Structure 1
Amino acid sequence: MNVRRRLIPTAALAGAVALAATALTACSGAAGASGGKDGKLDVMASFYPMQFLAERIGKDHVKVDTLTKPGVEPHDLEITPKQTAQLGEADVVLYLKTLQPAVDKAVAQSGVKNVVDAAALTKLEVHGTSGHDDHAAEEGASDGHDHSHGETGEDPHVWLDPVKYAEIAKGVGAALAKSDPDHAADYKKNTDELVAELGALDTEFKDGLKNTTSRTFITTHSAFGYLAERYGLDQEGISGVDPESEPSPARMKDLQAVAKKDNVSTVFFETLASDKTAKSLAADTGLTTDVLDPLEGITDKSQGADYFEVMRANLKNLQKALGNK
Structure 2
Amino acid sequence: MRKLSSIFAFLLVLTVFLAACGGNEQEEQQSTTEDVDQESMEVLEIYTTIFPLEDFANKIGGEFVNVTNLVPVGADAHTFEPTAREMISVAEADAFIYNGAGLEGFVDALVETVDGESIAIVTASEGIDLLDYDHDHNHDEHAHEEEHDHDHNHDEHAHEEEHDHDHNHDEHAHDHDEDPHVWLDPILSITLAENIKNVLIELMPEQEDFFSANFEEVKTELEVIDQEFQAMVDAAEKDTFLVSHAGYGYWEDRYDIVQIGISGISPTNEPSQRQIQDIIELADQYGLEYVMFEQNIPTKIAEVVKGEVGAEALYLHNLEALVQEDVENGEDYFSLMRKNIKALETALQ
**TM-score, normalising length from structure 1?**
0.82
Does structure 1 residue 49 correspond to structure 2 residue 89? no
Instruction: Give the Cα separation in 2 of the matches to 1:321 and 1:304.
Output: 25
Tell me the secondary structure at the aligned position of residue 74 of structure 1.
Answer: coil
Conserved? CA contact 1:147–1:245, under 8 Å: no
Does structure 1 residue 96 correspond to structure 2 residue 122? no
- What pairs up with 1:107-256 in 2 under 5 angstroms? 107-111=111-115, 112=117, 113-126=119-132, 127-129=135-137, 130=158, 131-139=160-168, 145-146=171-172, 149-150=175-176, 153-256=177-280
Conserved? CA contact 1:42–1:92, under 8 Å: yes
Question: Could you say which residue in structure 2 is the equivalent of 1:314?
Answer: 340
C-alpha change, 1:301 and 1:203, in structure 2 (3 Å) is same
Q: Deviations over 1:238-272 (max 9, x none)?
A: 11111132211221122122212222111111111
**Which amino acid counterpart does residue 124 of structure 1 have in structure 2?**
L
**Which amino acid counterpart does residue 92 of structure 1 have in structure 2?**
A
Conserved? CA contact 2:183–2:189, under 8 Å: yes
Q: Which has the higher contact order (CA 8 A, sep 6+)?
A: 1
Instruction: Give the Cα separation in 2 of the matches to 1:204 and 1:63.
Output: 31
Question: Could you say which residue in structure 2 is the equivalent of 1:59?
Answer: 62
Question: Could you say which residue in structure 2 is the equivalent of 1:28?
Answer: none
Q: Deviations over 1:62-84 (max 9, x none)?
A: 11111111111221111111111
Instruction: Give the Cα separation in 2 of the matches to 1:121 and 1:185.
Output: 23
**Which amino acid counterpart does residue 306 of structure 2 have in structure 1?**
A
Unmatched tracts of structure 2, length 5 or more: 1-38, 138-157
Instruction: Give the Cα separation in 2 of the matches to 1:117 and 1:140.
Output: 24
Unmatched tracts of structure 1, length 5 or more: 1-35
Instruction: Give the Cα separation in 2 of the matches to 1:119 and 1:134.
Output: 29
Tell me the secondary structure at the aligned position of residue 278 of structure 2.
Answer: helix
State the Cα RMSD in Å: 1.9
Question: Could you say which residue in structure 2 is the equivalent of 1:72?
Answer: 75
C-alpha change, 1:304 and 1:93, in structure 2 (3 Å) is same
Shift of 1:128: 3.3
Instruction: Give the Cα separation in 2 of the matches to 1:187 and 1:227.
Output: 29
Instruction: Give the Cα separation in 1 of the matches to 2:234 and 2:84.
Output: 48
Shift of 1:91: 0.8
Corresponding residue to 1:105 among 106, 109, 127: 109
Conserved? CA contact 1:46–1:103, under 8 Å: no
The alignment-based identity, stated in percent, is 29
Question: Could you say which residue in structure 2 is the equivalent of 1:261?
Answer: 285
Moved more, 104-113 or 81-90: 104-113
Shift of 1:304: 6.7
Instruction: Give the Cα separation in 2 of the matches to 1:58 and 1:283.
Output: 46
Q: Deviations over 1:12-66 (max 9, x none)?
A: xxxxxxxxxxxxxxxxxxxxxxxx9751111111121111111011011111111
Tell me the secondary structure at the aligned position of residue 235 of structure 1.
Answer: strand
Conserved? CA contact 1:148–1:242, under 8 Å: no
Corresponding residue to 1:82 among 73, 85, 110: 85
Shift of 1:146: 2.1
C-alpha change, 1:292 and 1:200, in structure 2 (3 Å) is same
Higher Cα radius of gyration: 2
Question: Could you say which residue in structure 2 is the equivalent of 1:4?
Answer: none
Shift of 1:135: 2.2
Instruction: Give the Cα separation in 1 of the matches to 2:330 and 2:108.
Output: 29
Instruction: Give the Cα separation in 1 of the matches to 2:111 and 2:193.
Output: 21
**TM-score, normalising length from structure 2?**
0.76
Structure 1 segments (4+ residues) deviating >6 Å:
none
Tell me the secondary structure at the aligned position of residue 187 of structure 2.
Answer: helix
Corresponding residue to 1:286 among 299, 310, 314: 310
Moved more, 250-259 or 156-165: 250-259
Conserved? CA contact 2:136–2:252, under 8 Å: no
Conserved? CA contact 1:218–1:237, under 8 Å: yes
Instruction: Give the Cα separation in 2 of the matches to 1:187 and 1:104.
Output: 29
Moved more, 120-129 or 51-60: 120-129
Shift of 1:121: 3.2
Instruction: Give the Cα separation in 2 of the matches to 1:273 and 1:284.
Output: 20
Instruction: Give the Cα separation in 1 of the matches to 2:56 and 2:254.
Output: 21
